[in-house]
Homo-oligomer: A and B are copies of this chain.
């Protein structure tokens, strides 16, 4: 808050050096949206108007600049809002939906809920017809399913519904169907026998083990998907799905934990080859935060103390290495051995989101 609010142009400066100095004024829509969401959440928790004002600074900037005339959201904007980059992916739109929906809940301004629902329909259309993303369709390509897509869509519906039991809990007639489809799609990525969730499978769920993409494991992603699934399964009272989700999470923690240096790998190859991603062995902030949330979600869902032990293992490794004792906040990127590799606190993919979200969720889970 102290360093990121851009009173001059609206929105947030999200590329902040170790001490909060901006090192880039580009505004990344993923992070602008996530910060609006987070500030709205904090306002709803604490009822301190400063958070709502900060969220408004972001949401109004996004409302003016983030969406182009074709209805798609840009990936990055110049400080003044002029567009710089458009991704051939749906995630900028997804994080805008979260921002609009949560800001509507925080502010009571239903026009943002309408924007969220419009954009949600745009996303459904893009998933239906991916050629609209502008990626060339070539004859040698295998039709694939990416874990990130049903996983984030499941989360989006949860965000649009709001918290079960709350007065703003909301419904739409297609939510149940979309959620059920997302769950089915996520489960196609899960090899229960091996305890592995593949990032990429064939469109019908086929294993693609002859390619690095088809063998790719992203333990942090799997843990996050698993706790989204547990939340859903608890709401709809599906105990078999709770069990599958916990098996997914256990598999990801087992395979993802670096037994030599501690911490969770970023990427692995299911068959033991070296991942082609150069950063595969780095230890990133967000998988550790997802694992802290996930193990507590699993502990509450199962009442099994071994999940709490895993929470302590992850949290103690992370707390020894990620927080910056001098300037506050967590560093984002450590090398395999756990040493700081990037000193900045905010970058193109690290913003005001994973750290506060996880701390807020962990606090709630530990209180109950």
Contact = CB atoms under 8 A, between A and B. Distances in A.
Interface of A: 15, 17, 23-26, 74, 77-78, 80-86, 134, 136, 138-141, 210-212, 273-276, 278-282, 333, 335-336, 341-344, 347-348
**Most chain B beta-carbon contacts within 10 A, residue among A134, A136, A138, A336:** A138
B333 A335 contact: no
Contact of A342 (B81, B274, B342): B274
Given A24-B212, A279-B278, A344-B274, A140 B335 contact: no
Copies of this chain, complex-wide, total 2
Contacts of A81: 140
B273 A341 contact: no
6 contacts: A15-B212, A24-B210, A24-B211, A26-B211, A86-B136, A279-B279
Given A78-B140, A278-B282, 14 more contacts: A15-B212, A24-B210, A26-B211, A80-B140, A82-B138, A82-B139, A83-B138, A83-B140, A84-B138, A274-B341, A274-B342, A274-B343, A276-B342, A281-B341
B344 A273 contact: yes
B138 A86 contact: yes
A212 to B, nearest CB: 5
A347 B212 CA distance: 10
Contacts of A335: 281, 335-336
Contacts of A280: 341-342
A23 B281 contact: no
A188 to B, nearest CB: 22
A25 B212 CA distance: 10
A15 B213 CA distance: 13
Contacts of A141: 83-85
Contacts of A136: 86, 134
A81 B348 CA distance: 36
A278 B138 contact: no
**Most chain B beta-carbon contacts within 10 A, residue among A74, A139, A273:** A273
A78 B141 CA distance: 8
A278 B25 contact: no
A83 B135 CA distance: 13
A159 to B, nearest CB: 28
